[in-house]
Structure 1
Amino acid sequence: MPTLTADEHRRATEFVAEFSRHVGLGETLQFGCVYRSHDFPDTRLVLRLQGPPQDYAMKIDTASPESGRLQAEFDILTRLARYFDGNETSRVVRPFYLSPGGLFFVSEFIDRPTAVDVIHNSKDDDQVARIYRRAGAWLHDLHSFQPATEYEFRPRWMTDAINELLPFVPPHIQSTGGQMAENLENAALHLKGIPDTRVFSHGDFHGQNLIVGKGEMIGLDFTEMREKLAVYDIVDFLKSDIFRNTHPSNVDRSGILKLNKDMFFRRYRHPIHIGILDFCIRGRLLKDWLASWHVDHSCSPYEEDRRRRLGDRLQIAFQHR
């Protein structure tokens, strides 16, 4: 559990007291920090507030009054809560309170595993496949929040990002990654300009932002929401599949297990160009793999395992024709 500095604890105490008064509690709720942003450690935190009558999540961003980040997320969370009302299998965390200064907001805290917890740790392949099916259903519902439009696919940003990483990795990785990057650039020539589905997107749809409830899936963290091609949300979720052990014959040309990909699309039914999807998955896996080999990047045991798994899946994916 992350540790708060003295200043952070003082500020958090004030915020929790404000919320406690708002909900009419006689005393300030107990709290602890459960998340500190890796990219913005000095400004972004999440606290768990212990009830009664329930536990709450307090999302803090001390830069938000200037950026409007939390105000925007709270507003969309409120709209999505109404949108999902009555849906028995899909919803979002319920929002409760936005501070007048925009420094924090409070939603429900749900003490359940995330999709990533199950995908990474379950020994039951069928259980994991069901998680992919349920995630596909949830994302289908989210992508139906507003009417879809069409937008021409522009792959250049991805190939450019990959090529920018290549000079900063060890020579043997640069050689292998360069061949894969060339393969992607050739594929991009045939995909550029093809129209695909653009929707209201989550923007950061990795499996830690989807909670596995009892009969329902619950989304959270909408700070990156925007309109963009639907495939990008799908890629963000499917890439966790690399943590599943499997025989190479079970992996398709995107680098994802055929079963899990198929299960995801059992319930996700918006039209998607599969060629664009497979290109984007391979591109994302390659980008992540190269970034993990950056000469200035030191790996933890977890990151070393992830790097190995990414490399193994990419070898399989780029063997497909």
Structure 2
Amino acid sequence: MPDLFNFDQDLIAGFVDEFSRAVGTKGDLAFACIYRSADFPDDRQVFRVVIGDINYSLKSDRTGDQTGRLRDEYAVLRRLHDHFLQFETTRIIRPEYLSPSGLFFVTEYLDRPTATELIYATPDNNQAAQVYRRAGAWLHNLHAFKEQTSGEFWPQWMFEAIATLVHGTPKAAATSYAPMINMLKRQGENLTQRHDTCGFAHGDFHGRNLLLGKGATYGIDFTEATEKHLIYDIVDFLKMDVFRPATPDDLDRSGILRVNKEMFLRQYHHPIDIDILDFCIRTRLLIDWLSITEEKYASSSFQRRKFDLLHGRLNQAMRIW
């Protein structure tokens, strides 16, 4: 896990000072790192900033002046924020300031639990199901942002990812995963070139990018927003369901708890192909399982638990199908 205390204090202090002067905010300044990218820990970071008695979130990217990454995301945030004003219970984090340098931007800060925190921690199945319902409502409104189209489904990229993982050092035994791969390939062949809905997608719609406040649900982090098949956002969110307790009778053919999937789709009404959705969920669960290497398994109790949970869900999903 990246060290949240190891960052360029002077650089971030300069960013905070620039923002404070630009918007005329007065008061004592303080900031603390709350996120560092696992892949780019020295470049991509998020800070909680306090100026006087007001809290903000500052997102920085030391390569942003070259890539335009944060400028693009900030532009998306502004358009989405206006789009979500028409809804009562779903929101986008409010954008506040984009640095002319492109190295950072500032949004409002919300001290609210993430969907992941609630789904992982709550012993109440009804409360967990409500998180899925609220997530479905939020994603439905996001996917209404732009006109939708229909596009052919091509699953080959997932099998290429699987092949790469298999040639690494997965903890899973070949005798366990090889039959799963073969079954999914047969299913994928039957779905290839079938049409499904495409449109504006979040691109990284996992539970840590959804904040649940009292009466409103907020989306954050649109760095990966793009046009693609909309089912991939649904898959990204539903697959963390593996951390919920389940009996075989509780699961549907995708390996997801039937009640949570139904609650999500109760509020999500855009047309999707359920066969493609279920196939993608199973395939992504397999990718996640194969991504746990022998080294990860040996060094982390969380990875060992995740390995066992994914294995159980995959076994059940393959039996039902």
Corresponding residue SS for 1:287? helix
Q: Distance in 2 between matches of 1:317 and 1:25?
A: 54
> What is the match of residue 4 of structure 2?
2
Q: Distance in 1 between matches of 2:286 and 2:71?
A: 35
Corresponding residue SS for 1:55? strand
Distance 1:116 1:92, change over 3 A: same
Corresponding residue SS for 2:291? helix
> What is the match of residue 221 of structure 1?
221
Q: Percent identity?
A: 46
Q: Distance in 1 between matches of 2:208 and 2:39?
A: 16
Shift of 1:111: 0.3
Residues 1:307 and 2:302 aligned together: no
Distance 1:72 1:43, change over 3 A: same
After superposition, the C-alpha distances for 1:254-291 in whole angstroms (9 at most, x for unaligned) are 11000000000001000110110011000000001001
Q: What are the residue-to-residue correspondences of 1:269-284 with 2, within 5 Å?
A: 269-284=269-284
TM (norm. structure 1) is: 0.96
Corresponding residue SS for 1:318? helix
After superposition, the C-alpha distances for 1:111-168 in whole angstroms (9 at most, x for unaligned) are 0100001100001000110110110000000000011000000011111211221233
Question: Would you say the 8 A contact 2:184–2:283 is kept in 1?
Answer: yes
Question: Would you say the 8 A contact 2:255–2:316 is kept in 1?
Answer: yes
Distance 1:2 1:170, change over 3 A: closer
Question: Would you say the 8 A contact 2:48–2:109 is kept in 1?
Answer: yes
Q: What are the residue-to-residue correspondences of 1:160-199 with 2, within 5 Å?
A: 160-169=160-169, 173-199=173-199
Distance 1:297 1:99, change over 3 A: farther
Equivalenced residues, count: 319
> What is the match of residue 116 of structure 2?
116
Q: Distance in 1 between matches of 2:297 and 2:172?
A: 16
Distance 1:165 1:11, change over 3 A: same
Question: Would you say the 8 A contact 1:59–1:105 is kept in 2?
Answer: yes
Distance 1:179 1:297, change over 3 A: same
> What is the match of residue 151 of structure 1?
151
Distance 1:172 1:290, change over 3 A: closer
**Could you tell me which amino acid in structure 2 is paired with residue 70 of structure 1?**
L
Shift of 1:79: 0.5
Q: What are the residue-to-residue correspondences of 1:1-321 with 2, within 5 Å?
A: 2-5=4-7, 8-27=8-27, 29-169=29-169, 173-293=173-293, 299-321=299-321
Q: Distance in 1 between matches of 2:170 and 2:127?
A: 38
**Could you tell me which amino acid in structure 2 is paired with residue 188 of structure 1?**
G
After superposition, the C-alpha distances for 1:216-250 in whole angstroms (9 at most, x for unaligned) are 11000000000000110000000110000111110
Structure 1 segments unaligned to the other structure (5+ residues):
none
Q: Distance in 1 between matches of 2:218 and 2:52?
A: 22
Q: Distance in 1 between matches of 2:62 and 2:250?
A: 46
Structure 2 segments unaligned to the other structure (5+ residues):
none
Distance 1:2 1:295, change over 3 A: closer
Distance 1:168 1:295, change over 3 A: farther
Q: Distance in 2 between matches of 1:70 and 1:223?
A: 7
Shift of 1:23: 2.1
**Could you tell me which amino acid in structure 2 is paired with residue 233 of structure 1?**
D
Q: Distance in 1 between matches of 2:74 and 2:180?
A: 41
256-265 or 79-88: bigger deviation: 79-88
Corresponding residue SS for 2:227? strand
CA-based RMSD of the aligned residues comes to 1.5
Q: Distance in 2 between matches of 1:292 and 1:23?
A: 46
Corresponding residue SS for 2:80? helix
Shift of 1:172: 5.9
**Could you tell me which amino acid in structure 2 is paired with residue 219 of structure 1?**
G
TM (norm. structure 2) is: 0.96
**Could you tell me which amino acid in structure 2 is paired with residue 204 of structure 1?**
D
Q: Distance in 1 between matches of 2:283 and 2:51?
A: 44
Question: Would you say the 8 A contact 1:140–1:270 is kept in 2?
Answer: yes
**Could you tell me which amino acid in structure 1 is paired with residue 251 of structure 2?**
V
219-228 or 79-88: bigger deviation: 79-88
